[in-house]
C-alpha cells in the first residue's frame, strides 16, 4: 500500500519570519496524519524550517548535480544533506521553462540525489499546446524515460514523480480527476515497462496543478494518484491544513 504524500511548493514565497510563523501555526497540528506532508521552502529558509518542522518534511526546491565548484548561486546535494534535508523537487516546469532545466540535468540531479540516499521529486508534464495536440502521453513518457536513465531498480522505487500539466499550474484550471488519473496511469505503466510491476506499484505519483482543499479528495481517491504537489493553496496555514487533514 502506497502512502500518499502532499508537498506544498512555496516557490519564491515567504521570508524567514513568515516561514517560522507558518510552521508555528501548522506543524504541531500535523501529528497523526494519514499521509506524509511537507513544505518546499526557498533555500534561505531551509535551515530554520528544519528547526521548526517536527512533523512536516522540509523539502528543497532544486539542487545542482555537481558536488562542488564554481557554480555561482547554486546549492549542492551535500549542503542540503548537511541540513538534514531528505527530499528535493527537480525538473519543475518553471525551472524547465525559465532556468534551462532539461531532461538531461533532471537525470543528473536524480542520480546525484539517489547516490546520497535522498528522495528526488521528479516533475513532468505537458504544455497547453502539447495537451491540445494530444501529445501528452508522448511528452510525459519521454520525460520519464530520460529522467530514469541509468537509475537502478532499487533506487527507482524510492523516487516520487509529480505529474503537473503546465496548463493547470497557477491557472485555477485543475485537470479533472479523470484526466489526472489517466496520465498518472500512463506514467505508472511506463515505469513498469522501464523496470517491472513491483517498481511500478511501489513508486509514488503525485498530481499537481491548482490543487485546493475542495478538489484534493477526489484527486487523491484515484487509484494511481498518491498525493499532490501544491503551489498557491499551500501558502496559507488554514488552506494547507485543509489539504492535509
Q: Is 62 in the site for ligand PGA (CB under 6 A)?
A: no
* Comparison of 56 and 200: residue with beta carbon closer to ligand PGA: 56
Cα 89 to chain centroid, rounded:
5
Q: Is 61 in the site for ligand PGA (CB under 6 A)?
A: no
* Comparison of 152 and 238: residue with beta carbon closer to ligand PGA: 238
User: Is residue 87 annotated as part of the catalytic site, yes or no?
Assistant: no
User: Is residue 92 annotated as part of the catalytic site, yes or no?
Assistant: yes
What residue is closest to ligand PGA based on CB?
Answer: 231
For the CB of residue 32, give the shortest distance to ligand PGA in the complex, in Å.
25
* Comparison of 30 and 229: residue with beta carbon closer to ligand PGA: 229
Which parts of 194-233 interact with ligand PGA (CB under 6 A)?
Answer: 208-211, 229-233
The one catalytic residue among 36, 64, 92, 126:
92
Q: Whole-angstrom Cα distance, residue 28 to residue 5?
A: 18
* Comparison of 85 and 199: residue with beta carbon closer to ligand PGA: 85
For the CB of residue 208, give the shortest distance to ligand PGA in the complex, in Å.
4
Q: Is 169 in the site for ligand PGA (CB under 6 A)?
A: yes
For the CB of residue 107, give the shortest distance to ligand PGA in the complex, in Å.
20
Q: Is 38 in the site for ligand PGA (CB under 6 A)?
A: no
Residues that bind ligand PGA (CB under 6 A): 9, 164, 169-170, 208-211, 229-233
Amino acid at each position: 500500500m502506497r502512502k500518499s504524500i502532499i508537498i506544498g511548493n512555496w516557490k519564491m514565497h515567504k521570508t524567514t519570519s513568515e516561514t517560522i510563523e507558518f510552521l508555528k501555526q501548522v506543524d504541531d497540528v500535523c501529528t497523526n496524519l494519514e499521509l506524509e506532508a511537507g513544505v518546499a521552502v526557498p533555500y534561505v529558509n531551509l535551515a530554520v524550517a528544519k528547526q521548526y518542522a517536527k512533523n512536516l518534511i522540509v523539502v528543497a526546491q532544486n539542487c545542482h548535480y555537481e558536488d562542488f565548484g564554481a557554480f555561482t548561486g547554486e546549492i549542492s546535494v551535500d549542503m542540503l544533506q548537511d541540513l538534514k534535508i531528505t527530499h528535493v523537487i527537480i525538473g519543475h516546469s518553471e525551472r524547465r521553462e525559465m532556468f534551462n532545466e532539461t531532461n538531461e540535468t533532471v537525470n543528473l540531479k536524480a542520480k546525484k540525489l539517489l547516490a546520497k540516499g535522498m528522495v528526488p521529486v521528479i516533475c513532468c508534464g505537458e504544455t497547453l499546446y502539447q495537451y491540445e495536440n494530444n501529445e501528452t502521453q508522448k511528452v510525459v513518457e519521454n520525460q520519464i524515460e530520460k529522467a530514469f536513465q541509468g537509475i537502478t531498480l532499487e533506487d527507482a522505487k524510492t523516487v516520487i514523480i509529480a505529474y503537473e500539466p503546465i496548463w493547470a499550474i497557477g491557472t485555477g484550471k485543475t485537470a479533472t480527476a479523470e484526466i489526472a488519473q489517466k496520465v498518472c496511469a500512463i506514467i505508472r505503466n511506463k515505469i513498469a515497462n522501464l523496470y517491472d510491476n513491483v517498481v511500478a506499484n511501489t513508486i509514488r505519483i503525485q498530481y499537481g496543478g491548482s490543487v485546493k482543499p475542495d478538489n484534493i479528495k477526489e484527486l487523491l481517491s484515484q487509484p494511481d494518484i498518491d498525493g499532490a504537489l501544491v503551489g498557491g493553496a499551500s501558502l496559507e496555514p488554514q488552506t494547507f491544513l485543509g489539504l492535509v487533514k
